[in-house]
Structure 1
Amino acid sequence: MSQLKNQKPKSIVPSVNKAIDIILLLSQSPDLSMKEIAETLELPSSTCFNILTTLEYRGFIKKNDKSLGYSLGLSIMRLGLQVYENIDIRKIALPIMKELTSIHNETCYLATLAPSKLEGFIIERVESSKTLVVLLPVGDKVPLYATATGKSLLSGFSEEDLTFYLNNVELSAFSTKTIITEEQLREELEQIRRKGYATTHNELGDGASAISCPIKDYEGNIIAAISLSGPTQRMVTQFPAMIQDVQEAANKISRSLQ
């Protein structure tokens, strides 16, 4: 499981290495029993039990009382959030986001994919001074199919990833504007890829509209999305002026990551 098995340093601590193997295994295959974990990682039962007990005590894993299977715990999530707080893209994007908000005085969001690849995850926000809609907090998860940043992220999915997403997410309606069919979503994603930006109009039923553009890494992969969001009646008249500025902001962040 662990990459350390290929080139093991002399100073490695075996028990720590095995604990990391267990965490990595459960990140890929949750709800495994102790027997399944021990067999998969070729660990003695007593060793596996001791490590699982320690990890559970520290909150890194949790045990399902019904299935007796183990999954990752809240401590892992908290560490993940701390990583998000320190990732370079936030530091690079924040001044650009502030500039975008100062120009248009609408709320700017930065989002990336949640680890499951089934939701978006807001990692930064610069608030408008005149926002009249509900603000999404940093750390909030958002549906990919019903948000502008989400659609920007989805536009970078391979056919395999998109099929996986559609097989595992129910396209539920938040409003009459929400896309709820695979055909509609695929068609809109094609338009987004062609135009280079995504838009939404009250698709979450919150009275907000948004425009978003994808952010790419050095290999050209879409790894995040930036957006401007505000009340629909105000945003619609500003869209033409916003499109180029949001695109330039996304491109500027992308260049800084390369």
Structure 2
Amino acid sequence: MPTSSSTSTTKGSTLDRVLQVLSLVANSRGHLDRESIANQLNMPIASANKLITHLISLGHLQENIVGRVIAGQKLQTLSHDILKNQRFSEQRESVLQRLSDRIGETCGISVPNGIEMIYFERVNCNWPLQINLAEGSPVPIAASASGKLYLSMLDEEIRKNVVQHMGLTEYTPKTITNEAIFLEELTRIRDQGFGEDNEEFVDGMAAISVPIGSNELNFGYLFCHAPSFRTSLEQLKMYLPEMQNAAKEILDFTVEEMARKSS
């Protein structure tokens, strides 16, 4: 019969494993399957399978269409709650407001959620006419600047598998629905380092996006969108340096706070 000490150690070990799996998945950007997780954590595949299956049943994890383990709804909600911490929200809003004032158009942050992107936070422009997509609104991953940038940053084979299985829905006459052409578009976006939407999601809306972080440490995507009759896609691209500086500012104070709390 196990002693209270050994029982406590077992419970602690289980909790450690849960935290290790969640942390690994949260930082993997959808690159890992069950076997990869087991290998990276030096766990027996049977033990890893059992733990991952349990976390999926609880809603903390899920598997995507190509068998990669990704954050589930509960884990995503938790991470969003942390990001929505009032102090961080005020800092991000200050950065977004300055950027929006500089460009004169709506700026915000989006995060991936399955095969959609979620408008996580935004600051509206002051124009009477604006494209109103509220916080929390889902936008298609294959027809938005941030979504295309997210897909472009995936490993090539994963990117191909995701595109092959997700389907390409037509939202406007400019939406790219040909798989081969779309993959070429993602390669171009990966090489240039920023995303763009040339009226592919909403008729008359242009948008660009830049990553907040890198492949290894990514907190989302900073975007700016505008009615294309007022600010064209090419005009938006002129503000890429300002957007990249704003993304770095958001990243810097987020990482600084993470380091402070973990020390």
TM range (shorter): 0.5 to 0.7
Which residue of 152, 158, 161 corresponds with 2:158? 161
Paired AA for residue 235 in structure 1: T
- 2:185 maps to 188
Q: Is contact 2:164–2:179 with CA below 8 Å preserved after alignment?
A: no
Q: Does 1:85 align with 2:84?
A: yes
What's 1:96 paired with?
A: 95
Structure-2 residue corresponding to 1:51: none
How far has the Cα of 1:194 moved from its partner? 2.2
Name the stretch that deviates more: 191-200 or 88-97. Answer: 88-97
1:235 to 231, 234, 242: 231
Residues in 1 aligned to 2:121 and 2:196: alpha-carbon distance in whole angstroms: 19
Q: Quote the Cα distance in structure 2 between the aligned partners of 1:100 and 1:86.
A: 21
**How is 1:1-258 mapped onto 2 (pairs within 5 angstroms)?**
11=8, 82-86=81-85, 93-114=92-113, 116=114, 118-130=115-127, 132-217=129-214, 220-236=216-232, 238-256=235-253, 257=255
> Per the alignment, in what secondary structure is the counterpart of residue 146 of structure 1?
coil
Deviation digits for residues 138-160 of structure 1 (CA, Å, limit 9, x no counterpart): 22221111111112212211124
Give the distance between the partners of 1:87 and 1:110, measured in 2 at CA: 16
Paired with 1:182 and 1:132, the residues of 2 have a C-alpha distance of 34
User: Aligned-pair distance for 1:172?
Assistant: 0.8
Q: Which amino acid aligns with 1:231?
A: P
Paired residue for 1:70?
Answer: none
Q: Is the 8 A contact 1:226 1:246 kept in 2?
A: yes
Question: Which amino acid letter does the alignment assign opposite residue 228 of structure 1?
Answer: C
Per-residue CA deviation, residues 112-163 of structure 1 (Å, 9 max, x unaligned), is 111x3x2212211111111624322222221111111112212211124313
Inter-partner Cα distance in structure 1 for 2:108 and 2:149: 12
Q: Is the 8 A contact 2:122 2:135 kept in 1?
A: yes
Distance in structure 2 (CA, Å) of the matches to 1:216 and 1:128: 25
79 and 193 in structure 1: CA distance in 2 versus 1, 3 angstrom threshold: closer
- The whole-number CA distance in structure 2 between the counterparts of 1:86 and 1:152 is 26
Instruction: Name stretches of at least 5 consecutive residues in structure 1 with no aligned partner.
Output: 1-7, 30-39, 43-55, 62-72
RMSD (CA atoms):
4.2
The answer on whether the counterparts of 2:131 and 2:227 sit within 8 Å (CA) in structure 1 is no
Kept in 2: contact 1:109–1:226 (CA 8 A): yes
**Unaligned 5+ runs, structure 2:** 22-32, 35-48, 52-56, 60-71, 257-263
Alpha-carbon distance between aligned partners in 2 of 1:252 and 1:105, rounded to the nearest angstrom = 19
The residue type equivalent to 2:159 in the other structure is: L
Q: Aligned partner of 1:100: which letter?
A: L
Residues 208 and 237, structure 2, Cα contact 8 Å, conserved in 1: no
Q: Would you say the 8 A contact 1:175–1:204 is kept in 2?
A: yes
Q: How far did 1:238 drift?
A: 3.0
Read off the aligned partner of 1:167 and give its amino acid letter: Q
**How many matched pairs?**
212
In 1, distance between residues paired with 2:200 and 2:237?
Answer: 20
1:65-85 CA-to-partner distances (Å, cap 9, x unmatched) read: xxxxxxxx9888865653453
Aligned equivalents of 2:196 and 2:111: distance in 1? 17
Letter in 1 for 2:220: A
Change beyond 3 A, Cα 1:162–1:87: farther
